[in-house]
Amino acid sequence: MLRSNLIPAEVKPLKVLLVEDNLSLANLYVNFLQAEPVALSHVATGSEAMTAIRNERPSVVFLDLQLPDMNGIEILNWIQNDGIDAAVIVVTADGSLSTAVEAMKAGALDFLVKPFNRERLVVTLRNALERQRLSAIVEKVKGGYPRDNYCGFVGSSVSMQAVYQVIESAAQSKATVFVTGESGTGKEVCAHALHDLSPRNDKPFVPINCAAIPRELMESAIFGHVKGAFTGATQHQSGAAKRADGGTLFLDEVCEMDADLQTKLLRFIQTGSFEAVGSPTTEVVDVRFICATNRDPWVEVQAGRFREDLYYRLHVIPIQLPPLRERDDDILTLVRHFIRVYAEEEGKAFRDVSPEAARVLLDYSWPGNIRELQNVIRNAVVLYDAEVIEPAMLPAKIAQAAGNRVPKAAGAAGAPAALPATATLAPIDEASLSERIVPLWKLEKEATEQAIELCGGNIARAAAYLGISPSTIYRKRVSWEAMESNLVAAAESSR
Ligand SMILES: Nc1ncnc2c1ncn2[C@@H]1O[C@H](COP(=O)(O)OP(=O)(O)OP(=O)(O)O)[C@@H](O)[C@H]1O
Ligand SMILES: [Mg+2]
């Protein structure tokens, strides 16, 4: 391989590859180009060319079409199919138009017919380099534009752009990521994105929820156990640590882990080694850790519930997901996204929200974040038949909460201006009364469902908090279903 050594290595000149089987011609071209600020290398065959292109990633390739081992068009096709970003200039002794057309169709940037002089070669090279420089700028600018979705996330708010950037850089590394944020802000989505964008994405992503597994089973869930390790351990079972070998272990709700296990986790994170419950053998795995919590981990440390040394071990790359109320720009984007998803899922005609409903949604504080928004839209799509979501289709608590809040800037994101404080209500007709007044059974249903949700689906607990018996909830559910089917029937008969 000939190399022009006129360019000092530290200025990182662009690489140019010359593919030419005639050595005296190759020498001539190297001579022609020696004053150009490029790192020029030369190969004489098609297979050498493919290796050099793959390994060196040249910006520009001068490609002779008649090579001893293959036709240059084959190399051109391979460059196109593999999406290799190189500007190819085809060089041939055949001046026929059809060869030029074929090469350009196959993706060549330019075409040189032998023999050519120094000036023609230099101008062609400079044009190609300029084109590469411009397309690199375009790519960079494209990358700098705010993204409105990213690896499972929907939203283009400034605060989410920062999150996307950290995910992008952190995904490449093995460093532990600690994801914090209120409930429903997307911590699990974040963990998946980190894994999917990482070089480990062909290995398992193993999530383990430290709040959902009883404490006495947690150690075995993470590290596995051997037969007879405890009552009920009838056979050897490997844990999440082993299953995640080579991949990612996602420890969700990590602040719920008890003190003993925190000590074992610390050692596992420090050394990659652990013992299954009841086993004397130490196992070693290669795992990337992602942890999440909806608590403030530092408050947990201060309160003595979370080991400080473990906190520092985990807190290598912190990602804090902002609450939805701080992502104003994203609320309507998410609303429209979920309308599209659920309308398709349910076979409904919904396609947007009315400006009034948009105002209600924008004025609400979303304590349950994206999960709550998702549920609100899903409910509206399931329960009603229309093209546009109206305020009456939203849970009463949202409309009420929005009504109680000081309105935000008028006209925000397509919503109409809020009523001025001095405005009086216009006389209200029957139709809008029925839209504005929420029947008691609906309020009761929403309060009950919210209580059940807050109690993690435990009806008995929810009933205790509501001051009624669980059987009352079951009975009421039957009557609410009847009310809802009456509503549907009434809506159909009025069509
Ligand atoms: N930016 C987003 N775009 C689209 N969907 C999202 C986004 N963020 C979250 N979601 C969806 O919202 C729901 C809640 O997200 P996720 O489970 O990741 O939240 P979380 O922070 O882990 O909540 P928790 O603390 O309750 O476990 C999921 O259905 C998820 O797909
Ligand atoms: Mg979660």
Nearest CA to ligand 1 atom 16: 186
Predicted pLDDT at 409: 33
Q: Does the Cβ of 371 fall within 6 Å of ligand 1?
A: yes
Q: Does the Cβ of 373 fall within 6 Å of ligand 1?
A: no
Q: What is the mean pLDDT of the chain?
A: 85
Predicted pLDDT at 436: 66
Rounded to an integer, what distance in angstroms lies between the CA atom of residue 109 and that of residue 124? 10
Q: Does the Cβ of 294 fall within 6 Å of ligand 1?
A: yes
Rounded to an integer, what distance in angstroms lies between the CA atom of residue 261 and that of residue 259? 6
Predicted pLDDT at 240: 97
The alpha-carbon radius of gyration of the chain (Å, integer) is 32
pLDDT single digits (tens) 419-431: 333 223 334 556 6
Q: CB burial class (10 A; 0-12, 13-18, 19+) of residue 83?
A: exposed
Q: Does the Cβ of 188 fall within 6 Å of ligand 1?
A: yes
pLDDT single digits (tens) 230-251: 888 899 999 999 999 999 999 9
pLDDT single digits (tens) 370-403: 999 999 999 999 999 999 999 999 998 888 876 6
* Nearest ligand by distance to the CA of 164: 1
Q: CA 398 → CA 123, 302, 355, 401, 405, distances in Å?
A: 66, 35, 15, 5, 11
Q: CB burial class (10 A; 0-12, 13-18, 19+) of residue 199?
A: exposed
Rounded to an integer, what distance in angstroms lies between the CA atom of residue 71 and that of residue 259? 68
Rounded to an integer, what distance in angstroms lies between the CA atom of residue 300 and that of residue 266? 16
Read off the pTM.
Answer: 0.60
Nearest CA to ligand 1 atom 1: 153
pLDDT winner (highest mean) among 85-94, 130-139, 334-343: 334-343
pLDDT single digits (tens) 92-119: 887 676 777 788 888 898 888 888 999 9
Rounded to an integer, what distance in angstroms lies between the CA atom of residue 133 and that of residue 220? 56
Q: Does the Cβ of 327 fall within 6 Å of ligand 1?
A: no
Q: CB burial class (10 A; 0-12, 13-18, 19+) of residue 291?
A: buried
